[in-house]
Amino acid sequence: MEVQFTEQIKQLQLGAGQAFHGEGILAITKALLQSGVAYIGGYQGAPVSHLLDVMVQAKPYVDTLGVHVEACSNEASAAAMLGASLHYPVRGCVTWKSIVGTNVAADALSNLASPGVTGGTLIVVGEDTGEGASVIQERTHAFAMKSTMALFDPRPDLPTMVNCVQHAFALSEASHMPAMLGLRIRACHVRGSFEAQDNVAPRHGTHAWIDEPAPFDYGKLAHPPVTFRHEKLKVEQRIPAAQAYIEQHGLNETFEGELADVGLIVQGGLYNALQRALQTVGLADAFGDSRVPIHVLNVVYPLAPKSIGAFAAGKRAVLVLEEGTPEFIEKDVIQALRRQDLNTAVHGKDLMPPAGEYNVETLVQGLIAFGERHLPQVDLAAAKAWLAANAERRADVPVASLPPRPPGFCVGCPERPVFSALKLAQQEVGRVHVAADIGCHALATFEPFHSGHSILGYGMSLASRAGVGPLMAQRTLAIMGDGGFWHNGLLTGVQAALFNGDDAVLMIMKNGYTSATGTQDIISTPDDEAKAEAERNAAVHQSLAHKNQTIEQTLKGMGVPWLRTVHTYEVDAMRRTVEEALTTDFAGLKVIVAEGECQLERQRRLKPFVAGRLKRGERVERVKYGVDEDVCTGDHACIRLSGCPTLTVKDNPDPLRVDPVATVIDGCVGCGLCGANAHAATLCPSFYRAEVVKNAGGWERFVARWRETVTSWLRPEVVA
């Protein structure tokens, strides 16, 4: 990837006493180094991608500490990496996006958690409970419980987050259970500060090897009959050990308050929102001094029943604030209190919504409901008035009255033309069942393409057509990115389709990177040599995707008989290829490789290159497309076939016409789709392509001047 993390890498090297300023995820990364971690791995995904991205780029520095960093091929391989800590006293951390990544990793996690670890292991997951999330209603909590792994949900406050990382390793070692740490998206990106400590080189690492393999120990294998013993170890030793550690180190914090006969038990991640809610109800000040006592669960699994009991003892009622369903924590709290014969009333999902994010407003509603039952002395009128005012404002401007703005393909994205071609092909051969996938190409599910019938998981599109394909009269189309292909699709999709002789069509978006997660490199990324060569030949603007043939070679090696590679900007060729794949007599697997390098990466390469040439006064050519406003009739068919952010509309300058005309605004990178679509779809003659040359040579200037003079004799002055 071409993004530079220079500043972040500097922050990682801070020593004791220095002030770290930065985002939450980077603070976590720094905390790993302060904890003496020996190896780090993972698979990128929002919102935790930066942990790995920064570490990969910081290799020269982390090498000096002896820390091994590896970008894993998927979450399963990342989880398997933690196997190093089964036998050896080395700390390891891996990261991914949950819940999806945890699902992929589940097999390895079970087999890691069963024998239990020697060295501390930590899994940092992006816990996607709210906005910008996928499969938001599922919780990592369930995985932690089923595999008996500790789950941290720290207060979104940098010192607490860093502290939790360091304790997570120690807890993992004390209890032999792997630990997880979940971060909500806003906590990942929260910018704050903490006082750094020195980084610690691990005892064993790339600088100090483990001398010899551990002795054979059947107990470290997840195999019967030792797994029966593992089960006992989990409940008889590990959970109690973890609970003891939590209590001994006060990982769950209690904040006292004057209204001592009630209390709030809250997931750490919700603490700040709860504080603002309390402020709104008039129960706290801005510095976190609450009138209601609060017990903050920085570790949400396992719960420490003794601390829960100590907090609830003497209280008439507690309210458990826990995002998501089922209400695991609430049930644990109820059980803990009943076992300790405490009759404190426990509220939770009876007063709080069972689904959705617990934002400040939701929490205020819960606090009002709780206050009405248990805090007659508190005046709730202001809070209620605030809620009513919010509702009134929303009623005045309903959200549904505003056009939505979902994300879309970047300007110049090489994947957009594929969906233009697919739209055109379907006009010829009829509608097609499209098995979509995870990746940038999933943005085609939005306007103007509205393409895709299902998304079953990352790299799962071809596999997911295995059921519907044989039951359908027409062929189905599976779309997959190269990221998804390597993550999973090669085995679950291609291999299965070949083995079963399926009559399927697979479209692989070969853009050279896993782009939706931030253009991380993969095995089919164009290598540095190809990039250097492009620079030498002044061909930096060109796609380099074809320079890496790993996907094609793999497919050929597996025996894919029908394989076509089409450059995505050849819309007409792509349309014909799709039509052929859908109608050919050949009944086996047909693969179309849609080739075109990620535009983000190309632009990041191109910008400094062009800037350099301009600085040296060398010839630079830029391309921009445009629409002739007097030729455009305002039908916008071009937009329905493109959706490019720079292809938009403006007021019609012709006073006779009323519909806005299409226009290409600044930001157009001259990708060529407008022209290709105009030809492939027989749109209209409005589009032009302008090649603007700066610092042209003498001959080129001469020719241009000559042409201008001669053609000016041919031009009519005014045309209405």
Partner 1 sequence: MSTAQVTPMRPTCVLICALGGEGGGVLAEWLYGAAVRAGHAAQSTSVPGVAQRTGATTYYIEVWPQPASTHPGRRPVFSLNPVPGGVDLLVSSELLETARQVANGMVSADRTVVISSTARTLTTAEKMQPTDGRADTGALVAALQRHAKQAELLDLAALAQQAGTVISAVMLGAIAASGVLPFARGVYEDTIRAGGKGVEPSLRGFALAFDAVTRQREQRTAVEAALQPAPAPDLRALGRARVASYQDEAYARLYDERLDRFAAWPAVQQELARWLALWMAFDDIVRVAALKLAASRQARVRREVKAGDDEIVKLYDHFKPGVPEFAALLPERLAARLQAWDRRRVAAGRDPWALPLKVGTHTLRGALALRFVAGLKGWRRRGQRFAREQALIERWLAAVQAGAQRDPALGLELALCGRLIKGYGSTNERGQASLLHIVDVLATRDAATVRAAREAALADDAGRALDATLAAHGAPPRPPREQPVRFYRRKPVPAR
Using CB under 8 A as the binding rule, the residues of this chain from 657 to 686 that contact partner 1 are: 657-660, 664, 666, 674-675, 678-679, 682-685
Picking from 197, 201, 272, the residue whose alpha carbon sits closest to that of residue 20 is 197
SS3 149: coil
609 binds partner 1, rule: CB under 8 A: no
Between 54 and 346, CB nearer to partner 1: 54
Looking up tokens 């001047």 gives: 705
- Shortest distance, position 94 Cβ to partner 1, whole Å: 20
Task: Give the CA angle between residues 101, 1, 414 to the nearest 5°.
Answer: 85
Which of 253, 289, 535, 580: binder of partner 1 (CB under 8 A)?
289
Say how far residue 146 (Cα) sits from the centre of its chain.
Answer: 25
Which of 215, 216, 341, 405: binder of partner 1 (CB under 8 A)?
405
Q: Which stretch binds partner 1 (CB under 8 A): 113-121, 141-149, 391-399, 455-463?
A: 391-399
- Strand spans (E) along 166-284: 179-183, 191-195, 253-255, 262-267
CA dihedral for 163, 169, 173, 175, sign (positive or negative): positive
462 binds partner 1, rule: CB under 8 A: no
Picking from 266, 288, 270, the residue whose alpha carbon sits closest to that of residue 279 is 288
Give the CA distances from residue 141 to residues 122, 146, 180, 426, in Å, rounded to whole numbers and listed in that order.
15, 9, 9, 44
Within 204-341, residue ranges assigned H as helices are 226-233, 239-248, 271-281, 305-312, 328-339
- Mode of pairing for the β-strands spanning 262-267 and 294-297: parallel
- Shortest distance, position 188 Cβ to partner 1, whole Å: 9
Between 66 and 469, CB nearer to partner 1: 469
- Contact predicate 455/438, CB 8 Å: yes
Picking from 622, 585, 624, 573, the residue whose alpha carbon sits closest to that of residue 424 is 573
Give the CA distances from residue 381 to residues 359, 378, 718, in Å, rounded to whole numbers and listed in that order.
20, 9, 70
475 binds partner 1, rule: CB under 8 A: yes
Q: Of 496-515, which residues contact partner 1 (CB under 8 A)?
A: 501, 503
Q: Of 28-57, which residues contact partner 1 (CB under 8 A)?
A: 46-47
603 binds partner 1, rule: CB under 8 A: no
- Shortest distance, position 3 Cβ to partner 1, whole Å: 12
The dihedrals phi and psi of 516, each to the nearest 5 degrees, come to -65, -25
Between 240 and 501, CB nearer to partner 1: 501
541 binds partner 1, rule: CB under 8 A: no
Q: Which stretch binds partner 1 (CB under 8 A): 162-170, 316-324, 332-340, 422-430?
A: 422-430
Between 313 and 472, CB nearer to partner 1: 472
Supply the DSSP string of 21-74, one letter for each residue: EEEHHHHHHHHHHHTT--EEEE---TTTHHHHHHHHHTHHHHHHHT-EEEE-SS
d(CA 147, CA 149): 6
381 binds partner 1, rule: CB under 8 A: no
Which of 290, 307, 464, 543: binder of partner 1 (CB under 8 A)?
290
Q: Of 62-121, which residues contact partner 1 (CB under 8 A)?
A: none
Q: Which stretch binds partner 1 (CB under 8 A): 72-80, 335-343, 423-431, 455-463?
A: 423-431
- Strand spans (E) along 448-528: 454-455, 476-481, 505-510, 513-514, 520-521
- Please state whether 177 falls in left (phi above 0), alpha (psi between -120 and 50) or beta: beta
Q: Which stretch binds partner 1 (CB under 8 A): 31-39, 314-322, 538-546, 709-717?
A: 709-717
Tallying the residues shown for the chain, one arrives at 720
286 binds partner 1, rule: CB under 8 A: yes
569 binds partner 1, rule: CB under 8 A: no
Q: Would you give the DSSP letter of residue 13?
A: T
Provide the β-strand partners of residue 567: 595
611 binds partner 1, rule: CB under 8 A: no
d(CA 487, CA 508): 13
384 binds partner 1, rule: CB under 8 A: no
The dihedrals phi and psi of 24, each to the nearest 5 degrees, come to -55, -45
Looking up tokens 């083995």 gives: 499
285 binds partner 1, rule: CB under 8 A: yes
d(CA 348, CA 367): 11
Which of 170, 369, 606, 696: binder of partner 1 (CB under 8 A)?
696
Interhelix angle 416-429/571-583, rounded to 10 degrees, is 50
- Contact predicate 102/42, CB 8 Å: no
Which of 10, 16, 21, 499: binder of partner 1 (CB under 8 A)?
21
388 binds partner 1, rule: CB under 8 A: no
Q: In a 10 Å sphere around its CB, with 0-12 CB exposed, 13-18 middle and 19+ buried, how is residue 562 labelled?
A: middle
561 binds partner 1, rule: CB under 8 A: no
- Shortest distance, position 408 Cβ to partner 1, whole Å: 5
Between 204 and 416, CB nearer to partner 1: 416
User: What is the gyration radius of the CA atoms in the chain, in angstroms?
Assistant: 30
- Please state whether 695 falls in left (phi above 0), alpha (psi between -120 and 50) or beta: left
397 binds partner 1, rule: CB under 8 A: yes
Q: Which stretch binds partner 1 (CB under 8 A): 57-65, 347-355, 439-447, 554-562?
A: 439-447
Q: Which stretch binds partner 1 (CB under 8 A): 202-210, 314-322, 546-554, 707-715?
A: 707-715
Which of 89, 305, 309, 645: binder of partner 1 (CB under 8 A)?
645
Which of 429, 456, 496, 573: binder of partner 1 (CB under 8 A)?
429
Residue type, 196: A
2 binds partner 1, rule: CB under 8 A: no
Which of 390, 467, 527, 611: binder of partner 1 (CB under 8 A)?
390
Q: Which stretch binds partner 1 (CB under 8 A): 113-121, 309-317, 326-334, 384-392?
A: 384-392
Q: Which stretch binds partner 1 (CB under 8 A): 173-181, 306-314, 348-356, 649-657?
A: 649-657
Count of residues that interact with partner 1, criterion CB under 8 A: 139
6 binds partner 1, rule: CB under 8 A: no
Q: Of 148-187, which residues contact partner 1 (CB under 8 A)?
A: 156-157, 184-187
Q: Would you give the DSSP letter of residue 543?
A: -
- Shortest distance, position 262 Cβ to partner 1, whole Å: 15
636 binds partner 1, rule: CB under 8 A: yes
580 binds partner 1, rule: CB under 8 A: no
Q: Of 187-216, which residues contact partner 1 (CB under 8 A)?
A: 187, 189-193
283 binds partner 1, rule: CB under 8 A: yes
339 binds partner 1, rule: CB under 8 A: no
d(CA 304, CA 92): 25
- Shortest distance, position 102 Cβ to partner 1, whole Å: 17
Q: Of 224-263, which residues contact partner 1 (CB under 8 A)?
A: 258
590 binds partner 1, rule: CB under 8 A: no
d(CA 625, CA 56): 38
Q: In a 10 Å sphere around its CB, with 0-12 CB exposed, 13-18 middle and 19+ buried, how is residue 87 labelled?
A: middle
- Mode of pairing for the β-strands spanning 92-98 and 39-42: parallel
356 binds partner 1, rule: CB under 8 A: no
- Contact predicate 460/492, CB 8 Å: yes
Which of 17, 213, 698, 710: binder of partner 1 (CB under 8 A)?
710
Which of 203, 207, 249, 276: binder of partner 1 (CB under 8 A)?
276
649 binds partner 1, rule: CB under 8 A: yes
633 binds partner 1, rule: CB under 8 A: yes
